A and B are shown apart, each in its own frame.
Chain A
C-alpha cells in the first residue's frame, strides 16, 4: 500500500518561501498525478495544485503566482514551494496521490500523507 510522508520546516517567516517535500513509499511515483492540499487551522480544505510524474503542472489560480511544484522520480519525491508567505498561509499541508482515468480525467485523491503544519510567523 502506498504511503506518503510530508517533511519540511514547521515555521516560516513572513515574506519567505515555504518548502515541503512528499516522499512516496510502497508504490511507484510514475504514471500518477500528485497533489498538494492545505487546511488552515479549524477551516476547510483548499486545493493548491497537482503535477504529473512527467513534471506537467496545474495550479490553483488563486496561488499560481506564488506556487512551484516539482518532482524527482529517482528519489520518489515531489515538492511544493510557496513564495512570499503571510500569516494567511498558515495551514496543515497535505500531499496526496491522485487517481485518474487513462484520458487524464482526475477522479479522486486515494492516498494522503498525515499532513505537515506550517506556521508563518516572525
Chain B
C-alpha cells in the first residue's frame, strides 16, 4: 500500500495569513503522462469531506483561488494564500494512483 504522510498534524493560523500543508507519499504518484494522482480534501466540522485539488494542482469546481496545490512525485503541498475563518477543518491528501486508495492522517487547521 502507498503510505501518505502529512505535516504538520495541527496548524494554528491567524486570519489573513498564509498556510501550508505538506504531504509525502511512499512511492511516486507521477504517471508517464505527466499527471500526479494526488487529491486534497477539506472536512469542515460536522461535514463530509469536499474535494479541493486533483492531479496535485488542479482546483476543483467552485474552490476559491486562495487554495493552490503543487508538487510532483512524492512531495506535495497545499497552500492557502490568506486563511479565512471558513477554512477551519481537517485537510487530507489522498492518492489515487493505485488501489487501495489511501489517505494521509489529516491536518487540523484552526484559527488563532
List A residues at the B interface (Cβ < 8 Å). Answer: 44-47, 58, 60-62, 94, 99, 105-110, 112-115
A-B contact sample (4 more), CB < 8 A, given A47-B103, A106-B101, A113-B48:
A47-B101, A107-B39, A108-B51, A110-B60
- Measured in the bound complex, the distance between the Cα atoms of B43 and A61 in whole Å is 25
Asked whether, in the complex, the Cβ of B48 is within 8 Å of the Cβ of A62, the reply is no
Known contacts A108-B60, A110-B51, A112-B50; is-contact A44 B96 (Cβ 8 Å): no
B102 and A112 form a contact (CB under 8 A):
no
- The interface of chain B, by Cβ under 8 A from chain A, is 37, 39, 41, 43, 48-51, 54-55, 60, 92, 94, 96, 99-106
Main secondary structure of the interface of A (DSSP, over half): strand
Determine if B48 and A108 form an interchain contact, defined as CB atoms under 8 angstroms apart.
no
In the complex, which of the residues B99, B102, B103, B106 contacts A58, with contact meaning CB atoms closer than 8 Å?
B99
Please indicate the chain A residues that have their CB under 8 angstroms from the CB of B50 in the complex.
Answer: 112
Whether A44 pairs with B54 at a CB distance below 8 angstroms is no
Whether B49 and A112, one on each chain, are in contact in the complex, defined by CB atoms closer than 8 angstroms, is yes
Instruction: Name the residue of chain B whose CB is nearest to the CB of A60.
Output: B100
A44 near B92: Cβ-Cβ < 8 Å: yes
A105 partner residues in chain B, CB cutoff 8 A:
37, 96
CB distance from B63 to the nearest CB of A (A): 12
Cα–Cα, bound, A44→B49 (Å): 11
Bound-complex Cα distance A115 to B47 (A): 9
- Measured in the bound complex, the distance between the Cα atoms of B106 and A99 in whole Å is 22
Say yes or no: A47 contacts B102, CB within 8 Å. yes
Q: Hey, which chain B residues are within 8 Å of A109, CB to CB?
A: 39, 41, 49, 51
A-B contact pairs, 30 of them (CB 8 A): A44-B92, A44-B103, A45-B49, A45-B92, A45-B103, A47-B99, A47-B102, A47-B103, A58-B99, A60-B100, A61-B100, A62-B100, A94-B48, A94-B49, A99-B54, A105-B37, A106-B37, A107-B39, A107-B55, A107-B96, A108-B51, A108-B60, A108-B96, A109-B41, A109-B49, A109-B51, A112-B48, A112-B49, A112-B50, A114-B48
